[in-house]
Amino acid sequence: MMAFCGLNCAECAAYKATMGHDVALLEETARLWTDSQNKYTPADVICLGCTEENSSLLYASCAGCATRACAMRKGIRYCATCDDFDNCSTVKDLMKTFRPNVLKVIGLMRERVKRAQGSDLPRKKRHRVTSGPVPNL
């Protein structure tokens, strides 16, 4: 499940452990993420993913994420589709921590959004279902 910012919650240990009912992984994640400033219990790293509305069911750091709060307030599903994306310091600050390939996917999303700007392509040009080779996706 892709978060508002472009990260994939399904790749996070907290989300995987919660969804997989993996208590051992919750315990290990709490231990690994504990440092001198933050001490976590397995309950603290329970996480149902960024799009879950109830913030108490998210890992603390994600529950307080300014990008998530902004997207929810605006009713936007992905930051990459937001009109303010290019000038948004909130998401840009967060993106500094992302892997290069995650940034590339966000770039692809931006390219699509910009390409579609001003066109009403999906509704006007519907794909006709015909016989023929099926793309093997």
Partner 1 sequence: MMGFCGLDCSGCRCYRGTLTSDIALLEEVAREWVEPERTHRAVDMMCLGCAQPDSRLLPPYCGTCSVRLCALERKIPTCAACPDFDSCDRFKGLMRFLAEPKVESKMRLMRAKVLEGESR
To the nearest whole angstrom, how small is the minimum distance from the Cβ of residue 111 to partner 1?
5
Q: Specify whether the CB–CB gap between 42 and 35 falls below 8 A.
A: no
The rounded distance, in Å, linking the Cα atoms of 49 and 52 is 6
With respect to partner 1, which residue has the nearer C-beta, 27 or 110? 110
Selected from 11, 83, 84, 93, the binder of partner 1 by CB under 8 A is 11
Choices 16-24, 25-33, 61-69, 104-112 (CB under 8 A): range interacting with partner 1:
104-112
Which token pair is 99? Answer: 């892997």
CB atoms within 10 A of CB 61: 14
Which token pair is 125? Answer: 């040009």
Q: Is 95 in the site for partner 1 (CB under 8 A)?
A: no
The rounded distance, in Å, linking the Cα atoms of 137 and 125 is 22
Write down the residue that tokens 């001490």 correspond to: 39
Q: Is 43 in the site for partner 1 (CB under 8 A)?
A: no
Binding site for partner 1 (CB under 8 A): 2, 8, 10-11, 77-78, 81, 99, 101-102, 104-105, 108-109, 111-113, 115-116, 121-123, 125-132, 134-137
